[in-house]
Amino acid sequence: MQIKILADGGAMKPGPALSQKLGPAGIPINKVIQEVNEATKNFKGMKVPVELDVNPKTKEFEVLVFSPPVSELIKKELGITKGSGDQANFKSANASIEQIIKVAQTKLPNMLCNDLKTAVKTVVGSCVSLGCLIENKPAKEIEAEIDEGLYDEHINKEITETPEEKKKELDSNFSKIKAEQDKKLKAAKAAKEAEEAKAEKKVSNAAAAAKK
């Protein structure tokens, strides 16, 4: 019997879904959780696909851990907890091409890609949906540049370490972008609150008029 779950790396907890799957087979849930947490401890903070190969007769089981989804690996690499939620207007991070190659290299064994360059393009595609910039540019632009061969040397040499100066420059640029985004969010929040206050006043005035 095979059971597929998406576990919190190193921090899986008991839950009704797991109990319903393992309970009827008589498998000790606490032991399963302990082994899953041990097997996924290097993926803390990420959702990790796990498959349990269970033998209902012997009550024995094997924990098979697969590489986390590309989006989880990207968030871990870039130190973010979520995507922008509004890719067109807000950016969540500013990655280097080296970081993208690193994620692609990690995920490649579990991807339907023939080579690292294809894997890199797949990771860049996930950056689009997360609202991540790459090399100070929208991820869509980087996709085109990869097709043009601009990063072939980096990919072929499997360069995964970002030079310190470059990292500082990318971080500095993103700090400026984030400051502008925060201004927009603050302005939007203020406008919303003003609209809500206006609506409340209108209702209050209508109620007062009705009492007269």
State the CATH number of the domain containing residue 40: 3.30.1550.10
Sign of the C-alpha dihedral computed for residues 113, 97, 40 and 11 taken in this order = negative
Domain boundary (50, 65, 80) is at 65
Token pair listed for 40: 């996924």
Beta bridge partners of 48: 7
Band (78; pLDDT cuts 50, 70, 90): very high
List C-alpha distances in Å: 80 to 5, 74, 76, 94, 120.
23, 8, 7, 11, 19
Instruction: Output the pLDDT for position 88.
Output: 80
- Specify if 89 maps to a domain: yes
Determine the structural domain holding residue 38 and report its residue range.
2-65
Q: How many CA atoms lie within 13 A of 110 on its CB side?
A: 13
Cα(first)–Cα(last) distance of the chain, in Å? 73
List, in order, residues 6 or more apart from 77 with CB less than 8 Å away.
95, 99, 102, 103
Both 75 and 178 in a single domain?
Answer: yes
In angstroms, the CA 155 to CA 113 distance is 14
pLDDT at 127 over 70: yes
List, in order, residues 6 or more apart from 53 with CB less than 8 Å away.
1, 2, 61, 62, 64
| Residue 112 DSSP one-character state | S
Q: Please tell me the total count of domains within the chain.
A: 2
Both 99 and 142 in a single domain?
Answer: yes
The percentage of residues in the chain with a pLDDT greater than 70, rounded to a whole number, is 99
pLDDT at 164 over 80: yes
pTM: 0.74
Supply the mean pLDDT for the chain: 88
